[in-house]
Every structure is written in C-alpha cells, then in structure tokens.
Chains A and B, each alone.
Chain A
Amino acid sequence: MKQVPQKDAPLKLNESGTWIREDVSYEVNEPDAYALEEALRQREKHKGEVVVITSGPARAQQVLREALAKGADRAIHLEDDKFVGLDAFNTAKAIAAAIKDEQFDLIFTGLQSDDYGYAQTGVILAELLGWPHATIIMQIEKNETGIRVKRELEAGFFQFVDMPTPAVLTIQSGINKLRYATLIGIKQAKNKPLRKVSLAEVQSALGENLQKIEKLYIPQKTKKTEHIEGAPAEIAKKLVDKLRNELRVL
C-alpha cells in the first residue's frame, strides 16, 4: 500500500522543481484500499493472515495503522524519507528484499498509484520474485490448481485466467465495497505487530534509479478556456446563451 497526497490537496513544487513540497495532507492510495479489502475478504473465506507493507517516511505509518484497524494482522514499514525518491524498479526491489523470509501465497497491489501513476510496481515485483501475475483484477476465486481471476480488459471486455500460486495480482478499484474501521478495530490495531525495515537493511538489493524526473511543473494549457463568473443565476444565463448561440445544442 502507498501513501499519496490527498486528492484535492493543493500541491506546491519544491525549490529544485523535481518533486512536491512535503507539507501537504496525505491519504491511502485509493486502489490500494481495494487491494487491502480484497485481501481481508479472501482471509475471511479461506483463513490465513493478511500482512500489509508500505515504503515511505514516518508519516506513511498512518496507512499501516488504518489497515491494521480494518483487520490486517501485521504490518511491515520500509521506513526512510529516501524511499519516496525510488523509481518503480527500486521500490519493487526494496519490497522483495523486505519480504524474502515470508511465505506469502498471494500479493495484492492497487492497479496504480494516484501520484506517479506508473502502474508497474506490482508487475515488476512479480518478475523479481519469479511469480506469475495478472493485472486489473475484478474477482478472485480459489480452485484446485491455484486461483481463477477475472481480468478487466478495455471497452467493457473481461477474461477469466487460471493461474498457479504464489502470484501477484494488481487490483482494480471497485472490485468490492470498502469497509470502515471499527472502534474496536482501531483499539486492537495498537497491539498488532509492526516491523520496521530501514533503508540500510535493503540497500544491498537496490541499484541506481533507471529513470529520473528532470523537471516537475504545472502543465501548460493547450486549450483556451473561458471562465464564466458571477452569481449562480448570472452564470446560468450566460451558459444558456453559450449553449444556444455558440454550441447550438439548444
């Protein structure tokens, strides 16, 4: 799971223009919330254990606390400010190193993050682990040989895929209905195990980033936008004038 800036948080560029300033509000990456929910539902059906992992500064622990409150059994936090600057390849390497002694059957990620939006970390992790993967998943059923998953394709098409476990699945938003943490859950979360992994512990698994953000900036507008201002009634009148005389839809 990943912590990302809140959806409507105003973003400011840092001085070097390569990343945003840290002083914004954060929230859990929405697709990852669906991935967690699916893991909890699978555990409710098949028993077992749900472990949540994130990489990021101390603030990212909030994501793990919320996940534990919703019902995850334990958490792993790759904690260092520097994890924010890793590319997807290095992030996946860090995660792979942090879980090398674990025995997971399934790893879920959200299908992409709301900040970078690369849609790659889960698939890279699968390749590093040597596991099969499937992306943009809308349903997961256990079968005799492993699992049957429903992949979302484009333009309203779907496909079932049978695959062995262990496997990595990237989860589509909307696969399930998210639960809220209960008061009891929040209380219990305080006593659940949270393992911290430092950058030093995984450093030997990492390499140089393979890609670099040269410049981050506010996108140039390509379209001329006309702002319509005034009191609501005034705006309504102006808009209807546009609809009739410029757009000719009335």
Chain B
Amino acid sequence: MADTILVVVEQREGKLNRVSWETITAGQAIAAATGWTLEAAVVGSGAASIAAEVAGKKVAKVYAIESAKLEPYTPDAFAAALKQFLTSKQPKLVLMPHTYQVRDFVPKLATAMGRTVISDCIGFKHEGGKLVFTRQMFQGKLAADVSFTSGAPWFVTFQNGSFRGDKAEAGASTAPVETVSVDIADGVIRNKPQEVFKEAKQAVDLTQAEVIVAVGRGIKEQKNIEIAKQLADALGGDLAASRPICDSGWLPMDRQIGSSGQTVAPKLYLALGISGAIQHIVGMKGSRAIIAVNKDSEAPIFEIADYAIVGNLFDIVPPLIEEVKKAKG
C-alpha cells in the first residue's frame, strides 16, 4: 500500500482558513514527487461543510473529524481527536499550516505520539528517495534541510506564503468525504476559552496603503521616528513598523506589520533599519516593490528586496526626503 500524506486544514468558526489552500498545494507537490496518496482532514464541530469544499481539490479523500467537544478550540481536545484519528489511519506524513492555532496544539500532539514536528518549513526536497524539509534558521540568515529520523507519522508545518494557495489543483471529480466521530473523554479538556475578541478598533488600516515606510530597530531612538515620518509624508505614504518598535511603545500597535500585526501588499514598501525577521517578512513579502536600507549587508531583508541600500539610514534618508520633495515640485 502506498504511503499517505494527510493535510489537516484549519477552520475557524466554521470557515476554512485560506492559508489551508497553500498546505493543499504543498501536499499535492509532495504527492507528485513521491507518488504517495494525498488525503485531507478537517477537525471541529461542523467540519462536514468545509470537508465538502476541500473535496473539490485533487485529493483522494477528505475526513471530517467531529465531536461536540472540539468547539470551542482547545489544544487538549484537538490533540486528543487527532491522536485517535492518526493512530488508526497511520499516515506517513501530516501537513498543516504554521498558524498560531497549529503552533498551540501540534507539538503536544506529536509528543503524545512520541513523534516530532519540523515546524515553520518553507519547502521540501525529494532527492535520491529521501525527503527533507527546508526551514529558515537564525531569523532567516541561514536555511536548513531537516530530515526525520523517527517513525511515522511525520509532522510538518509550512510557513504562510511558502506555497501558492491559488495553485491548488482541482480534482477531476469530487473526492469522497467520510465523517469520523471521535471520542473525547470527560476531564481531557482543562482550558476554558472565552469569546474571541478584537482589541479597540484598529485606527489605521495599512492594507489599503499604496506606499508604506516602515521602521525597525535600526531607528535606534523614538525621536528618530520623525525622519521616517517625514519621508512617508513626502511620498504620500503611511508609516509602519516592525514588532520591536511597537513593543517599545514608539509607535502604536496598529502600525505593526507582520504575523501578529497587519499583512500588507503596497506598491512600495520602504524598509528602514529592519533586519527582516521571519515574523515581519510574512506580513510584507507580497509588496510589489521592496526597498531596504540597512547597515548590515547580511540582513535577511535584502533577500527579498528589489532595491538594496547597504548604509546608515540616518545618512540616506535626509537627502532622500529632499529629492522626493524636489521631484514632486
């Protein structure tokens, strides 16, 4: 029997998290390289309607793993449900998107099964019959190819944006959907989650901005943010920041770009003194053009920049403001 790849898609409040399509694309690519069978699963109460949506893609089968105890999400219930399911199905490889929810339960699940997770991967290689997964290390400065040395199931999570969700192939016919009821014993769930909420309305919506000037640690001091502000004003753009700047209170949280802030795709993203940690990059790598100014020539931000300026932002920005003003007349 061929080995099986299982993609566990993510649902929140009965809706498919779109990042799941990227994981389906990843699963299809690995299936094509290895010849393994691709299946998918949805976990949660009311998973059936999402399973039907996933069944339109090129997958052999979709499982809807259901129990009333899976709502609301808790790591205890999700790990228990998937452990039961995976123990009976024995897939070779289990793929998930590297979301905050997956990060919350998948290390627990793997540990409960005596297995391991290669987390936050950005790709895979299949060479000479060996499957390795590529992930960023040291905040993206280096990359590593990592292999499993243990038995199945192998757990892998993929970083947001590593595969193209819109490239997930549709199936020739709809895949069969099987509902699986899991039994979660009383007392397994220890956490009591309350309602999900959004903190005070975001005053700034950066997702619509055409030009963004973003500052990182390289700005050094709060008072220096003023020159970035001047540049943003001159360009008719918005000011944004990486997480450490907002953590320090130098700019409000609603100006933060990255996994815990906003995800943007402006025409121009001008990064000043931003090293380019993964958590920041996932929030801006879709920008049409990226200009990066950083004094460290090895800063990971340059990996994704269209235009790189290695130098001191305090030397570069003032004349740039003047030139932009001149150009605008």
Q: Report which A residues bind B (CB closer than 8 A).
A: 5, 7-8, 10-11, 13, 20, 87-89, 92, 114-120, 123-124, 126-128, 132-136, 152-164, 172-174, 208-219, 221-229, 232-233, 235-237, 239-240, 242-244, 246-250
Contact = CB atoms under 8 A, between A and B. Distances in A.
A209 B149 contact: yes
Contact of B149 (A11, A211, A224, A227): A211
B191 A162 contact: yes
A20 B235 contact: no
B112 A127 contact: yes
Contact of B139 (A7, A126, A152, A235): A7
Nearest to B139: A114
Given A174-B243, A219-B143, A247-B268, A156 B149 contact: no
B275 A172 contact: no
B76 interface: yes
Contact of A239 (B111, B143, B145, B323): B323
Contacts of A153: 100-101, 196
A11 B108 contact: no
Contacts of A128: 111
B223 interface: no
Contacts of B217: 7
Contacts of A157: 196-198
Interface of B: 75-76, 99-101, 103-105, 107-108, 110-112, 115-120, 132, 135-150, 190-199, 202, 210-211, 217, 235, 243-244, 246-247, 254, 259-263, 267-268, 275, 278, 288-289, 291, 296, 298-299, 302-311, 315-316, 318-320, 322-324, 326-328
B107 A120 contact: yes
A217 B142 contact: yes
Contacts of B299: 8
A236 to B, nearest CB: 4
B307 A226 contact: yes
B145 A214 contact: yes
A220 to B, nearest CB: 8
23 contacts: A7-B275, A20-B138, A88-B116, A92-B111, A115-B138, A123-B107, A127-B107, A127-B108, A156-B198, A156-B254, A158-B197, A214-B132, A216-B137, A216-B143, A219-B142, A224-B306, A227-B308, A233-B319, A240-B320, A240-B326, A240-B327, A243-B235, A243-B327
A154 B324 contact: no
A164 B190 contact: yes
Contact of A156 (B132, B147, B194, B199): B199
Contact of B194 (A5, A160, A164, A240): A160
B323 A237 contact: yes
Contacts of A127: 107-108, 111-112
Contacts of B261: 156
Nearest to A214: B145
Contacts of B103: 119, 123, 135-136
B138 A5 contact: yes
B200 to A, nearest CB: 10
Contacts of A117: 120, 135-137, 139, 278
B198 A249 contact: no
A158 B144 contact: no
Given A157-B196, A210-B150, A219 B140 contact: yes
Given A211-B149, A232-B319, A20 B190 contact: no
Contact of B260 (A87, A132, A154, A208): A154
